Chains A and B, each alone.
Chain A
Amino acid sequence: MKFTIYRYDPDRDERPYLKDYEVTPDPADRMLLDALVRVKAQDESLAFRRSCREGVCGSDAMNINGRNGLACITKLADLPQHVTLRPLPGLPVIRDLIVDMTQFFKQYESVKPYLVNHEAPPERERLQSPAEREALNGLYECILCACCSTACPSFWWNPDKFVGPAGLLQAYRFLADSRDLASSERLDDLEDPYRLFRCHTIMNCVDVCPKGLNPTRAIGKIKEMMVKRAI
């Protein structure tokens, strides 16, 4: 297989460039990450993040033939013989396929991604019905890989002002939690021309999410909650 990979080491390179590699995957190699590990065995200077190699830690998000995804759960068999790899778009590049995710995490943290309930907790667990718990499915599973936000033109344009799909999915995860008592503060915080309303339902986020989650639907639900409380 042929790999064309974005390379840039600010310590050495004046500007980024694309470098070609030929790799013969082993029959046991199943995923793109396996092939990348082989490329690195050829050229140890290639830098990328990876850890769990099963699609739960969110480290190895990258742009694969123009589309964001996780290398560890992208099957080699589903890829053409020539693969071009670039860093996630829209974020500053630190080196090669490694991007600076500061802005992404800042937006995540801005939605207060934690349960707020100032009532004294009971001695045992707070009760929640199976239906109330079900409302969190499709939300809590996010792995913060940033595939969605870095595929979103609104996030490219206003990364400092628009929360982005990943952050908004988590905002709704707590709005939807029957145990959380801060809904009205959460909605106040998002009622802003940028933070929530820069979403123009382009739905790139839904298209690329490697976990099959749907941030656009969550954003729609937040908008619904805002409308409901206004009337």
Chain B
Amino acid sequence: MSVAPPVRRFDAIVVGAGGSGLRAALELARANFKVAVLTKVFPTRSHTVAAQGGVAAPLANSSEDHWHWHMYDTVKGSDYLGDQDAIEYMCRRATEVVVELEHMGMPFDRLENGRIYQRPFGGHTQDYGSAKMAMRACAVADRTGHAMLHTLYQQNVRANSQFFVEWMALDLIRDPQDGAVLGVTALEMETGEVSIFQAKATLFATGGSGRMFFSSTNAFVNTGDGPGMAARAGIPLQDMEFYQFHPTGVYGAGVLITEGVRGEGGYLLNRNGERFMERYAPNARDLASRDVVSRAMTTEIKEGRGCGPEADHVLLKLDHLGPEVINQRLPGIREIAIKFANTDPVREPIPVVPTAHYQMGGIPANYLGQVVAPEGASHEAIVPGFYAAGECACVSVHGGNRLGCNSLLDLLVFGKSSGEQMIRDLRALPRPHRNLTPDAGDLSRARLARLDAASSGERVADVYAELRKTMQAHCGVFRFPELLLEGVEKMKQIAARLGRVYIQDRSKIFNTARIEALELDNLAEAALATVVSAQARKESRGAQARSDFPERDDRDWMKHTLWYKEGNRLAYKPVHLKPLTVEAFEPKVRTY
């Protein structure tokens, strides 16, 4: 084996430079800590860039609104699996973080009175679930994520944050004594060199794992790197069975069409030209929660009312909004529909299908960003030195189903709160760096050495394709007991095949074949966790819809799943039903 990798020391490291990573990095850089931000892609290439419709905050610019209404909607949207303390925390801080972003230069659309433009979004209501929708989604046309990511990057340029661009983190380093996280190993893509990044505080902000599905709105980079690294280091993954299918991905291409289209007044049609959501959600109709809409669409298609020669999609109609609204509020959607669906939505509807979109589960963390895991009598002992925020974390504010526009809010609030907590911890513990054990980088070195040595075996592209097809077929919008059981077995076999993967490219320089092999290791951890957790949960809640257990079962299943890589084992822990300051929202039957 090669010599031990060089060690670089920082106060803090942030892995990932999407919305939550950049928001945390900004907090740390402004406090003058020595921070390294590691990212696989240049920051503005992170997948936050693809968010479209808006960021939720009860600014009440266009309709009466209240953070407590937002909290109610989020708890209900989560199908009562969200932790109510964390949800209260997020909704209370929403106005602050969005206004702050405006002060940083975010080019929000405006109302006549100069205030931020807000539009309705699925599941966001007035007055605790009344039939009146709240105008809560703060928008920059249909490019909100792009504008947000660029604004946050620009502020980091101003604050002189130190970026390590095109460095891929490989594995967590933990102290064998007490499990504290001491940093990561990372690979510089341009040179192929591995370094150890040591820090007193390590934040994972690595984003989602949507590439595990064949049809996905997610970017190539969303390979579950944070969950994969955490799982290999013995940290459990929480609620991974809850994977969101967005109702409107472009049929065939998978590219996202924002819910903002329906927020602006667009609606879905089946082959009979019927506005079918009226049957499934009489009040909110097309603006019901995403899990509800995706199931309705899938049911329409299954019962033969889909559109097109194969009857395998439905139509999203928006031409009645008129070219002016479409060009002003939804210009990116028009561009996408013309490019990816060959239809101009000013004249024709867009063919759409439910498409894998967002991981509600992830690395278990509290609302201060601290990673927590069971230890002794505690369900949630803090893992010292380790933090997680954004899509890779499970706080859990989204529970069984996330509301649209709550993801951009999540990454602002918890990016900031984790940065703040890291600063508090760094100040409270002005200790020097701990000593690393000589084997600190061994896991990564062994993984790389195996790839370098193997000259035959399985091809990365084949295993990757098999994984995506398996997850698509066995763990989709509706879940069936036999398919889930088969899916678990197939995913176990796929995980076993990973040990035999080989690459032919031996170059040190920007070896993307090697990167893809390393990413596949992470994706497989996330996928196995997802299907195993889904198979075990014998109820339907939020995005988990089982044919054999069609009802929610609060008595036996109002609990969070924890999946451990070691032994492919599951454990459970209670949901936080008690908010911070207000009364709890009691579970009710969820209708829209």
- Give A residues with C-beta under 8 Å from B: 9-12, 28, 30, 40-41, 44-45, 47-59, 73, 75, 94-96, 98, 101, 105, 109, 112-115, 117, 121, 123-130, 132-133, 136, 140-141, 143-144, 174, 177, 179-180
In the assembled complex, the CB of B402 is this many whole angstroms from the nearest CB of chain A, namely 20
B44, A28: Cβ atoms closer than 8 Å = no
A124, B513: Cβ atoms closer than 8 Å = no
* Complex Cα gap A75–B367 (Å): 44
A47, B105: Cβ atoms closer than 8 Å = no
Checking B143, B154, B512 against A47 with a beta-carbon cut-off of 8 angstroms, the contacting residue is B512
In the assembled complex, the CB of A35 is this many whole angstroms from the nearest CB of chain B, namely 14
Chain B interface extent, by class:
35 or more
Chain B 531-553 interface mask (CB, 8 Å, partner A; 1/0): 00000000000000000000000
Checking A12, A95, A125, A143 against B108 with a beta-carbon cut-off of 8 angstroms, the contacting residue is A125
B510 at interface, CB cutoff 8 A: yes
Given contacts A51-B47, A57-B44, A105-B42, 4 further A-B contacts (CB under 8 A): A51-B221, A52-B45, A124-B115, A174-B105
Tell me the chain B residues, 237-267 only, with Cβ under 8 Å from chain A: 252-253, 255-256
In the assembled complex, the CB of B42 is this many whole angstroms from the nearest CB of chain A, namely 7
A129, B114: Cβ atoms closer than 8 Å = yes
In the assembled complex, the CB of B465 is this many whole angstroms from the nearest CB of chain A, namely 9
A-B contact count (CB 8 A): 147
In the assembled complex, the CB of A139 is this many whole angstroms from the nearest CB of chain B, namely 9
Chain B residues with CB under 8 A of A41: 461
Checking A11, A47, A53, A96 against B508 with a beta-carbon cut-off of 8 angstroms, the contacting residue is A11
List the one stretch of B29-37, B76-84, B96-104 in contact with chain A: B96-104
* Complex Cα gap A133–B139 (Å): 12
Chain B residues with CB under 8 A of A126: 102-103
Chain B residues with CB under 8 A of A28: 252
Tell me the chain B residues, 466-502 only, with Cβ under 8 Å from chain A: none
Chain B residues with CB under 8 A of A40: 461, 512
Chain A residues with CB under 8 A of B109: 130, 133
Known A-B contacts A125-B102, A133-B110; the reply to A11 vs B513 at CB < 8 A is no
Chain A residues with CB under 8 A of B516: 44
Checking A57, A95, A130, A144 against B509 with a beta-carbon cut-off of 8 angstroms, the contacting residue is A95
Chain B residues with CB under 8 A of A136: 107
Complex: chain A residue closest to B100, CB-CB = A121
In the assembled complex, the CB of A214 is this many whole angstroms from the nearest CB of chain B, namely 15
A10, B509: Cβ atoms closer than 8 Å = yes
Complex: chain A residue closest to B154, CB-CB = A114
Known A-B contacts A47-B512, A130-B112; the reply to A124 vs B99 at CB < 8 A is yes
B504, A45: Cβ atoms closer than 8 Å = yes
Chain B residues with CB under 8 A of A55: 335, 339
B44, A44: Cβ atoms closer than 8 Å = no
A143, B102: Cβ atoms closer than 8 Å = no
A52, B47: Cβ atoms closer than 8 Å = yes
Checking A44, A49, A98 against B504 with a beta-carbon cut-off of 8 angstroms, the contacting residue is A44
Checking B47, B503, B507 against A11 with a beta-carbon cut-off of 8 angstroms, the contacting residue is B507
Known A-B contacts A9-B507, A114-B154; the reply to A125 vs B45 at CB < 8 A is no
Chain B residues with CB under 8 A of A174: 105
Complex: chain A residue closest to B103, CB-CB = A121
Chain B residues with CB under 8 A of A73: 339
Chain A residues with CB under 8 A of B253: 30
B512, A48: Cβ atoms closer than 8 Å = yes
B461, A129: Cβ atoms closer than 8 Å = no
* Complex Cα gap A57–B49 (Å): 6
Smallest CB-CB A-B distances: 7 pairs: A115-B105, A127-B114, A114-B154, A44-B513, A57-B45, A125-B102, A45-B505
B554 at interface, CB cutoff 8 A: no
Tell me the chain B residues, 193-249 only, with Cβ under 8 Å from chain A: 219-221
Chain B residues with CB under 8 A of A48: 512
* Residue contacts A-B, CB under 8 angstroms, 28 given: A9-B509, A10-B509, A11-B508, A41-B461, A44-B516, A47-B510, A49-B41, A51-B45, A52-B49, A53-B219, A56-B332, A57-B49, A58-B45, A59-B41, A95-B509, A96-B510, A98-B510, A115-B105, A125-B102, A125-B108, A128-B114, A130-B112, A132-B110, A133-B110, A143-B44, A143-B146, A144-B42, A177-B107
* Complex Cα gap A65–B504 (Å): 29
Interface centre among A45, A51, A53 (most CB of B within 10 A): A51
B336, A54: Cβ atoms closer than 8 Å = yes
A44, B50: Cβ atoms closer than 8 Å = no
In the assembled complex, the CB of A63 is this many whole angstroms from the nearest CB of chain B, namely 18
Known A-B contacts A54-B336, A129-B114, A141-B146; the reply to A114 vs B42 at CB < 8 A is no
B340 at interface, CB cutoff 8 A: yes
Known A-B contacts A114-B155, A127-B115; the reply to A54 vs B110 at CB < 8 A is no
* Complex Cα gap A128–B103 (Å): 12
In the assembled complex, the CB of B41 is this many whole angstroms from the nearest CB of chain A, namely 6
* Complex Cα gap A124–B509 (Å): 49
* Complex Cα gap A143–B42 (Å): 11
Chain A residues with CB under 8 A of B393: none
B105, A179: Cβ atoms closer than 8 Å = yes
B150 at interface, CB cutoff 8 A: yes
Chain B residues with CB under 8 A of A143: 44, 49, 146
B111 at interface, CB cutoff 8 A: yes
Complex: chain A residue closest to B115, CB-CB = A125
* Complex Cα gap A127–B42 (Å): 32
Chain A residues with CB under 8 A of B511: 47
Checking B44, B116, B147 against A58 with a beta-carbon cut-off of 8 angstroms, the contacting residue is B44
B7 at interface, CB cutoff 8 A: no
B157 at interface, CB cutoff 8 A: yes
Chain B residues with CB under 8 A of A179: 105
In the assembled complex, the CB of B175 is this many whole angstroms from the nearest CB of chain A, namely 34
In the assembled complex, the CB of B78 is this many whole angstroms from the nearest CB of chain A, namely 28
Known A-B contacts A57-B49, A98-B510, A136-B107; the reply to A75 vs B158 at CB < 8 A is no
In the assembled complex, the CB of B329 is this many whole angstroms from the nearest CB of chain A, namely 12
Complex: chain B residue closest to A34, CB-CB = B253
Chain B residues with CB under 8 A of A49: 41
Chain A residues with CB under 8 A of B47: 51-52, 57
Chain A residues with CB under 8 A of B190: 94
Complex: chain A residue closest to B339, CB-CB = A73
Checking B44, B45, B110, B340 against A129 with a beta-carbon cut-off of 8 angstroms, the contacting residue is B110
Complex: chain A residue closest to B252, CB-CB = A28
* Complex Cα gap A174–B220 (Å): 32
B13 at interface, CB cutoff 8 A: no
* Complex Cα gap A52–B460 (Å): 20
B113 at interface, CB cutoff 8 A: yes
Chain B residues with CB under 8 A of A52: 45, 47, 49-50, 219-220
Chain B residues with CB under 8 A of A50: 220
Checking B42, B107, B114, B115 against A140 with a beta-carbon cut-off of 8 angstroms, the contacting residue is B107
A54, B107: Cβ atoms closer than 8 Å = no
Chain B residues with CB under 8 A of A115: 103-105, 154
Complex: chain A residue closest to B190, CB-CB = A94
* Complex Cα gap A9–B505 (Å): 11
B340, A30: Cβ atoms closer than 8 Å = yes
In the assembled complex, the CB of A19 is this many whole angstroms from the nearest CB of chain B, namely 14
